[in-house]
Structure 1
Amino acid sequence: MGAVFANQIRAAIAFVGDGARDTFPFDFDVFDAGDVRVAINGTETDTGFHIALTPTDQGGGGVVQFENPPANGSTISIARQLYLRRLSSFDAMSIPRGDALERDLDLMTAALGDVDRALSGALRFGADQGEGASAELPVIKPGRALIWNAAGTGLANGPTADDIAVASHKASQAQDAANRAEAAESRSETARASFERSTASAMLDLDFRSGDVLTWEDERRMPVIDAPVSRIMDIRETGSLVRLSSGAQLTLPVASLARNGVRFRVFNGDGTMVDITTAAGNVIRPTNGGVEATVYPLPTRGDMVDLVCDGTRWFAAPIHESGPVVKLLRVASQSIPAGGAFLVEWDQVIEDSHGLYDSGVHGITGLAPGFYHVDIGVRFPITDQSVFTTLSLERFDGTDWSSHLQANDITAMGSGAAHSLRLNGIARIGTTPGTGLRLRLSHSDAQTRDIGASGLLTWCHIHRIGG
């Protein structure tokens, strides 16, 4: 008796080649080698391999052996594809053999199983749907989408890609109009809230008997908000003047198209460190070319800035800035070897209003464009030999450091005293990707000289005086 054929759930198998293996087994039943389809990387091939089948009573399946091993990393797929046929035939006088009938039934069972698996991946009506509906395709019209008709009873040709693009564009225009309407509503609410009849009296007074027309205008333009604690601004407060104090932080609304034109004027009211940020964590872009940051500081009393939204981001337009102010000291001695120019390494930061001192470069970085007053003194002990000294204020232009201001001096001779080397001037910081200032010292002595230890006499003061 022959083996009983089982309709396997799986009638395909895949392998990944390693460049050396040339034999790949499969365990599903087929009826002859022509029922096996072989594909490499998704492309079916019918040459370059041989198929050896295993008898059904010995487990079924078989082996595909390639003449040349498939390439490393390639995907080898082996699948069954049956075509309907009869494996035996009988005439009216024949007595059918049992094994022949069984083989014919096996073929039909396998073929129906393959059809069932194929149908399970096809689109079909649900159990509670399809009543009165047809899935017959309409006449083919290139470039059109396939949609259900208005009655939901059949398929129809839908819009073209151009039609869909036009609809999408009109939807975008509608969204833009909605955003503008929201902005207009916000502005009208702000205007209504800022106008009090008791203060402005009548806006329009008509006297038809005398023919006189009297109009009044609300002269208030900038409501004042006192913010001694952190505050989140509302777009309906646009135009307000905000006084920040007591270390408070002001949070701006999220920038959006509907908020184009929303603006606030903010100032530091008491000299504590206050700052401004945004609800979405966006960067704030200074209009003077300063460094973009998520937090905009107002560290000095009287510092004032306008914050304006353009619909996509916030701009900071400084109105009054009294900083940054930086005061550095070198209190310990520092050796200055002969034959070179060496950076002065500051070891105390007395004041740094905007947090700009960078100990990694021994200088002040991230300076906003403008003019800076520089006052520098270096305590240089004198010896029995007079030397030529040079103080160089170096400026960073976003790429490299170069000398910007210099002061030369010749030290006195003696002992037990020090010479004060001085450098004063106005440094110009431009709108470059990176900015900075630092100090370098050189001397003409053949021996190492020192910056003298002092609590006060080696200093660097830098103060922004304007743009």
Structure 2
Amino acid sequence: MGTVFTNQTSASRAFVGDGVRVSFGFDFAVFDDSDIKITLDGVALDTGFHVTVARGDAVAGGVVTFETPPADGCLIVIARMLRLRRLSDYDAMSVPRGDAIDRDLDFITAAMGDLDGALAATLRLDAADRDQASAKLPRIAAGRVLIWNPAGDGLANGPDGVEIAKAASHASLAQDAANRAEAADARSQTALKSFVQNDAGALLDLDFRSANALVWEDERRMPVIDASTSRIMDIRETGSLVRLSNGARLSLPDASLARNGVRYRVFNGDGTMVDVSAASGDVIAPVHGGAENILYPLPIRGDMVDLVCDGGGTGGAGGTGGTSARWFACPVRESGPVVKLLRTNAQGIPAGGSFLIEWDQVVEDSHSLYDSSNHAITGLAPGFYQIDIGVCFPITNEAVMTSLFVERFDGTSWNYHLRSRDITAIGSGAEHSLRLSGVARIDATPATGLRVRLLHSDAQTRNIGASDLLTWLHLHRIGG
């Protein structure tokens, strides 16, 4: 075959099918059409194609012709795979022919080239390590990685996936601890730089003749922290005044006996919805009797609360109703909740009964208390609430008696709590404004709520008039 193997750097060719083409050429030498291996998208083929090998000493390669065009986008790889075999057989009495010897040498050269290419894609020791290390594999241990042994002269079975995951978890915890330590160091450095001896009081002054020992106490009892992003509080920041803004969340540390009495004062600094979050397993218990929760909202600018760790309690209401650790929430100033509801579309009020007003627009709901399924404001904290209600009631040629009721939920049932009565005027093309104002009291019960009901004396259905602003419910907490 002469010099057909000169400068052949690769014994494979790749193509991408287009769904039409069936013939694909290759330019590397083979000795028989069985020396060709064909794969489509990595799957080896045994049938469905024909190989035509070029003949002659000066040419190499051939053409692969598929019976069916490979699919569009299909990866086609044509490669040489020589089967180890003898091409010629020499006996003791014969004289070898030159072309036979040349063909045998070509085969050996091609086989060695393919072997060299295959070895180039394997893992190999660096030349400097060949005399001091072995690449022999250890016995198979399913699921474990291969690592170098401690001596660095051989391979060994390493950790499995579970052990690697544990190591990653420990690394994450270590990184978190390092971040906290770095943050604590930064805070201590800031405190040290801001400490002024003239603004501190002497706590201890000892004179042992030859030396003085003087300890100073920082008189600043309430450092100010401006938290415009979510922040995790440290127990060493006890006594801090924290200004929350920009929708930030303040996360409290774990409540425990060792932290009994740790406290923070937190307030809403800009009017965005901010809140305080207890650690997993802890609760925040409002001292005014509101429901315990893991979140304590501060939705209104200026809302302020003291949060005190109850390390001696057992959680639950009064420290007896549960097992979770807790923080007491002691409101300093709360101007909410504030709720404003509107009925903008007409609503029919049938005769012979009283019917709930179904609010269809929530203008303001600072603490997300409106329950549209019950047309009620629920989850109210204990205290006194100012209520103002107006209903647009179109007048007709017949005067009717109307009654507005505020119903209160006591955890078991709804009962009348406030009531107003009125007689509508007679006429057409105008509306009568039904009004009810008063102060409702909410007690500390498992479930609380307020809703509005309307009753009229007409024998026919009467409507609440459609209006942008004339049918409303305003509610505002005015105190405990």
Residue number in structure 2 paired with 1:273 = 271
TM-score of the aligned structures, taking structure 2 as reference length: 0.57
Query: Are the counterparts in 1 of residues 137 and 156 from structure 2 also a CA contact under 8 Å?
Result: yes
Distance 2:72 2:111 in 1: 34
Q: Tell me the CA shift for residue 59 of structure 1.
A: 5.9
C-alpha distance in 2 between matches for 1:115 and 1:76: 22
In the alignment, which residue of structure 1 is the partner of 2:104? 104
Superposition deviation, residue 238 in structure 1? 1.4
In the alignment, what sits opposite 1:303? 304
Aligned to 1:370: 381
Matched, 1:94 2:107: no
Deviation, 1:121, is 0.9
Q: CA separation in 1, counterparts of 2:406 and 2:29? A: 87
Distance 2:117 2:376 in 1: 69
Is the 8 Å Cα contact of residues 299 and 353 (structure 1) preserved in structure 2? no
Determine the C-alpha separation between the residues in 2 that align with 1:231 and 1:334: 41
Deviation at 1:224, TM superposition (A): 1.9
Residue in structure 1 matched with residue 136 of structure 2 by the alignment: 137
**Residue 324 of structure 1 corresponds to which residue in structure 2?**
337
Cα deviation for residue 82 of structure 1 reads: 0.9
Deviations 1:144-200 (A, max 9, x none): 754434454x214354549956983995699399679959988x979x989x99757
Could you tell me the percent identity over the aligned residues?
26
Give 1:202 shift. Answer: 4.6
Q: Does 1:422 align with 2:436?
A: yes
Aligned residues: 415
Look up the match of 1:211: none
CA–CA separation in structure 1 for the residues paired with 2:112 and 2:242 = 82
Q: How far is 1:325 from its partner?
A: 2.0
Partner residue, 1:239: 238
Q: CA deviation at 1:237?
A: 5.5
Q: Which residue of 2 aligns with 1:412?
A: 424
Which structure 2 residues correspond to residues 440-451 of structure 1 after superposition, within 5 A?
Answer: 449=463, 451=465
**Residues 76-87 of structure 1 aligned to structure 2 (within 5 Å):** 78-87=78-87
Give the Cα–Cα distance (whole angstroms) in 2 for the partners of residues 366 and 32 of structure 1.
Answer: 88
CA drift at 1:441? 6.7
AA in 1 matched with 2:389: I
Alignment of 1:315-464 (within 5 A): 318-320=329-331, 321-327=334-340, 335-336=346-347, 343=358, 352=364, 354=366, 370=381, 373=385, 374-387=387-400, 411-415=423-427, 418=432, 420-422=434-436, 449=463, 451=465, 458-464=471-477
Contact map agreement 1:290 1:369 (CA 8 A) in 2:
no
- Name the SS of the counterpart of 1:273 in structure 2: coil
- 1:65/1:56 CA distance change after superposition, 3 Å: same
CA RMSD of the aligned region, Å?
6.4
Is residue 368–residue 429 contact of structure 1 (8 Å, CA) maintained in 2? Answer: no
**SS where residue 129 of structure 2 aligns?**
coil
- Which residue identity does 1:112 align to in structure 2? M
Where does structure 1 lack aligned partners over 5 or more consecutive residues? 206-217, 279-284, 309-314, 396-402
Q: Following the alignment from structure 1 to structure 2, what is the Cα–Cα distance between the partners of residues 71 and 430?
A: 72
Following superposition, the deviation at residue 83 of structure 1 comes to 2.7
Superposition TM-score, scaled by structure 1 size:
0.59
Please give the alpha-carbon distance, in whole angstroms, between the structure 2 residues aligned to 1:417 and 1:170.
69
CA deviations on 1:50-72 (whole Å, 9 max, x unpaired) are 53323245762332646x88899
Report what 1:117 is aligned to.
117
Q: CA 1:174–1:130 in 2, change beyond 3 Å: closer, same or farther?
A: same
My pick for the range that moved more, 25-34 or 160-169, is: 160-169
1:30 is aligned to 30
Distance 2:394 2:34 in 1: 101
